[in-house]
Amino acid sequence: MLDIIAVNDENYDIDEKEFNVLVNKIQDNIIETLDILAPLKIRERKEKWEKKPWIDYEIRQMIKVKDRAFYNAKETNLDYDIEEHKRLRNQLVSTIRHKKKTFYENTIDKNKLDQKKLWHELKKLVV
């Protein structure tokens, strides 16, 4: 890269085409160096709800609606928007509690005859 600049440093009459070629070479060298020194890392994004089987599509949609209402209330600072966010938040918490309770009840009922499976499921839920 320095050779390219040094060679052309003596010649001040560079036409536009040569200039673009030089810029592209410098840009390619910078990108190549960055790829070596700081390569892009591919990270897997873990699903944050996978450990909570009672969080289903309906609850995730409610979370999105509640979050939108929160940002709207924060932006407008109107009492109506703040109350709407609080109402959606309370409704979401109530739904989560209900679904979680139902999930635990179903898991216990499903395995109540086999103690080994019951304890296995309970340990899985607690940890």
4-19 per-position pLDDT tens digit:
555 555 555 667 788 8
Res. 1 pLDDT band, cuts 50 70 90: very low
The two three-digit tokens of residue 102, written as one number: 């139902």
H or E stretch covering 66: helix 57-76
Global pTM value: 0.59
Mean pLDDT for the stretch of residues 27-49? 83
56-100 per-position pLDDT tens digit:
999 999 999 999 999 999 999 999 999 999 999 999 999 999 999
Res. 48 pLDDT band, cuts 50 70 90: confident
The two three-digit tokens of residue 55, written as one number: 């969080």
Instruction: Quote the CA–CA distance of 59 and 82 in Å, as a whole number.
Output: 21
Q: What is the pLDDT of residue 50?
A: 74
SS3 (DSSP) at 35: helix
The two three-digit tokens of residue 17, written as one number: 């085409």
Q: What is the pLDDT of residue 12?
A: 59
DSSP string covering 77-106, please? --HHHHHHHHHHHHHHHHHHHHHHHHHHHH
